[in-house]
A and B are shown apart, each in its own frame.
Chain A
Amino acid sequence: MTDPGYPYADPDLHREPCAYMYTPYQGPDFLRAWRESREGLLRACGTGTGPLAGALEGRGAVPPCPAPVRTRDLLLDLLAAPGTPRGEAWLEALLRRFELTKRLGPAYDGALKPIQDADAPAGDLEALLALALMRAFASHGDLRWLNAALKVVDLAAARGLERMTPAGREALARAVLLERAAVQALGPEPEEGP
């Protein structure tokens, strides 16, 4: 089978996110193409460690859900204090928002409607959410988190890393490493090519 490539991280997709409807089956080569695409993303993220820990310092006061929030602040709080009932309620809410729209707003009002907030930084949102989702999957083994993380990482890759802070790049790299380990744990090792 010819290499199908990995089309779901194409730069055009951040303008018109993929709905993933009726995706074709392309055999084991597709998983190989996905892994190669993610390897490229990891290389682009670099190997910087430490910025994320700095960004999480002093965070962790997760607000009740729902409430008006700046998404980046919320995600940092979720990453700093994982596994709390409030945090899980927020992840469920963000999962639903993301799956229905395939987008993340920089801020949400008290009814979880996205609002424009010029002061809310948007560059790291996908990276931080991807890591929060992968950590939730690592805790519970709930495939909904892994499924959403795969889509969020696609979107981050499509958007590119230019607007991402070093902490965002580190979060994305950690999410991709966990994502890769999760898919490997599922066990469908692609057969070796000729």
Chain B
Amino acid sequence: MLECHDLVRRFGDRVAVDHVSFHVTAGETYGLLGPNGAGKSTTIKLVCGLLARHGGTVRLAGQQVDGRHLAAKAVVGYVPQDIALYPDLSAAENLRFFGRLYGLTGAELRARVDEVLHLVDLSDRAGDRVDTFSGGMKRRLNIAAGLVHRPQLLVLDEPTVGVDPQSRHAILESVARLGREGMAVLYTTHYMEEAQRLCDRVGIIDHGRLVAEGTHRELVSLVAEQDRIVLGATGDLRVLAERLGSLDGVTGTTVGDGSVQVLTTDARRLLPRVLEAAEATDAEVTSVEVVQPDLEAVFLHLTGSALRE
């Protein structure tokens, strides 16, 4: 469905997307996981033809995406990170406008507008202006606007940023359902849990480079049997991290917001020594958690930094 090969995009001297290649097959949900500023949104904009490429190719449903082949863009439903809707138009007016841009008219347009409003549970608010909606409702309508023309590939750029837990759950459910129904989905996020829950395959992106990709199992296998010990602590956390990093069996440490993460091959055996070493510093440990390998650990292992740093 989507083939990206060797994508490059620069902003001045900064390389925002650095030779990125990946593909999304029909019916697959592919996640681009990385922290803010990693290059996820820029990659999405290259895929959707919103930014000029400085290198590489994008093929959608077998068609090259460039300024001359506009038809290829019709297979994509783009859901930007912002609430890209007209607040002074109603929900239905917004959907009709975007539907018409994709060539829908008449009864087909009306039917699709009704369908997607139903899908995002906004049928009863169809005639209301968007500026009267809650943040969660706007997020759902934002997704509906990307679906109205029945795309083959849905591209979502961090659709749950700033959303309350209830709306977030509803959005994730909707995306999962679309995936089950056979739609290809390209989903960017910096939430590890979302990538684990939704995506068949995940590409880990950092500083514009795709550092790894694969299924959840394949990615976790990259960090072998590594566990994480997460120490909630106060005091000088950098000194604490340095002290813990010097212990035998510790393969890495990172300092987070009020916590220090310790990577190790055997958390249970190492835990007493970690606590002992922590006591020898000025830092005060307030909580301890042992975490089995996950995408967070994979990201840490591959990039040396945490996703939310």
Q: Indicate whether A and B interact.
A: no
Q: B-contacting residues of A (Cβ < 8 Å)?
A: none
